[in-house]
A and B are shown apart, each in its own frame.
Chain A
Amino acid sequence: MKRFSGLNLLAQAFDGHRGWPEHWPDKAPKAAYDVIIIGAGGHGLGAAYYLATKYGISNVAVIEKGWLGGGNAGRNTTIIRSNYLYDESAHLYDHAVKLWDGLSQELNYNVMYSKRGVLMLAHNVHDVQSFKRHIHANRLNGVDNEWLTPDQCKAYCPPLDIAANARHPVLGGALQRRGGTARHDSVAWGYARGAVARGVDIIQNCAVTGIRRGPDGAVLGVETERGFIGATKIGVSAAGSTSLVMKMAGLDFPLESYPLQALVSEPVKPIFPCVVMSNTVHAYISQSDKGELVIGAGTDQYVSYSQRGALHIIEHTLAAICEIFPIFTRMRMLRTWGGIVDVTPDRSPILAKTPVPGLYVNCGWGTGGFKATPGAADLLAHTIAHDAPHAINAPFNLDRFRNGRLIDEAAAAAVAH
């Protein structure tokens, strides 16, 4: 890996930038690895990176049925925050936010983490009470979150309409200043480049078709479109396809996969200084560094693997955006797309060992997995390396659906999050 630095950039400039090596050369799979990660999104590539850097396990393959970062890593709205209600969730997501800090330096790759603040709008009395409860719970957990009056919201985000007779009146907002956005592709690329530099193989366009297990039930490796690849430890980080992979190992999972849509507008000059989320009317919006308004819509109501959603979901979101930000009523939308998100019954992830020896899983991030990328990757690597969960991800096990110790962020937020 040739490091990016001012000096290297200058040196390469004299040679027309032809001297940069490939970030992740195409590799034919070896017969066996110490660890196989299924899914080359940010979570999976990051897990391979941390296995190599923190635990010295670099004989690792990341296997991907499509292309690197082409699933939900490339389909999200890049929002980062950690203002979750329950202690377990606050610790989990804040672990990720702490890793976002300094990630560009660690990877020597600009992930463009921008702490522009995430403002969650309250439109009714229930929102006000719920958000204030979140703020107090967050402060007890050392997570920054503060209450803004409507005027303070307007000062923080000038395009906002706070008129008392608005269709969706703004009664205040909860602001997490450390929250913000990052460049989603860069996260996958940066982890991939860092992992490959330490000996990890990334094998794209190679769908896993089966998981081979020995007489004792432990994993022996994966069957793929390019033949059998051996490994005694397999980490699954396959988002919407996780339950399909788990069925290959004989496990039924408490997951359902839904389409989640997002869209971007034509690019305009800087107008929108932060991230605004309105759970009640279901509108999430920020502005990318390219100038596009990045808008998150809701999930479709039915299980699907189609990677596209219905137009009325987008219409609903844009109707809310136009009411809250009348300035945007004449913006034109350029692109819409959908990703398939795996949703658990309590809307909290599963990051754990499975009943199959040697099989580990990182799934169930639902509609909010991007923000957790570095944290989930780090904790999956820890769980695989130690064959035991870290204290932070120990509560996010599979047993909770049997013993009832749910981490019910679904009830806490009352909406998808």
Chain B
Amino acid sequence: MAFTPPRLLPLPLPPAAAPASTRAVSARHHGGRTAPELSGPTPRVVVVTSGKGGVGKTTTTANLAASLARLGLPAVAVDADAGLRNLDLLLGLENRVHLTAADVLAGDCRLDQALVRHRALQDLHLLCLSKPRSKLPLAFGSKTLTWVADALRRSPNTPAFILIDCPAGVDAGFVTAIAPAEEAVLVTTPDITALRDADRVAGLLECDGIKDIKIIVNRVRPDLVKGEDMMSALDVQEMLGLPLLGVVPEDAEVIRSTNRGVPLVLNDPPTPAGLALDQATWRLVERDVMTAVMVEEQERPKKKGGFFSFFG
């Protein structure tokens, strides 16, 4: 888990040149605000990618989208995985996806009809690129999602965020997913296989002109980090050279929330992973980054007391 303590570290920039997001962090801690300040023009098109499969792209997308919607920021989550879509399952909307972007392209429905609104979160919509066994038209190349993002930008109810869940790999699905994106959230786990893929994907994103890339280190085990059996979030950052958006600990509740079809950030009581994703959402909204991370668990001094304390 990670935090952004306000007076813990000297900021690299002088106060006059500090970005608005940094100032917002300080205001957050001292003012006790209940919502982050949205930074930048809307809609902000963010692609959630990783390169390697199974690191938590879809889980991160679902939770970021749900957290944004709960903050009152309209979000459209786009499942760009044409062959193996799963975002609908994580949001509990699998029975309601009947129309997809492929149907919109074919003229079978309008774009607003293909958007599936979440039952509980009125500001959250889901758009799937295609049905699992259907095939997309090849001729349009990577333009499909560019058109979709542009159409959403022109719509009367413009969403604040368009989150694109990118498929694994760097083939046509990846190309299609990153085409409309202006920012990227790179999800990785602290292992060398995921890191190598993440570095390559970061390179491809930078080649494509996406310079605003932040990383979320997922499935961190503080006990293994302490025993030096796992890389810490700081090690990951050192290897990739990218700012940290969040550090999410390993949490068994992720499986439970996936089975329930309810994103983790909606759990009551909150879970460690859900809280970390909530914090990442705040930073995403404010274009903020982490300035400090929790690295290891500390031994708490045992309180002496009771009968046996007499014997030391």
Q: Please determine whether chains A and B interact with each other in the same assembly.
A: no
Binding site for A on B (CB under 8 A): none
Residues of A within 8 A of B (CB): none
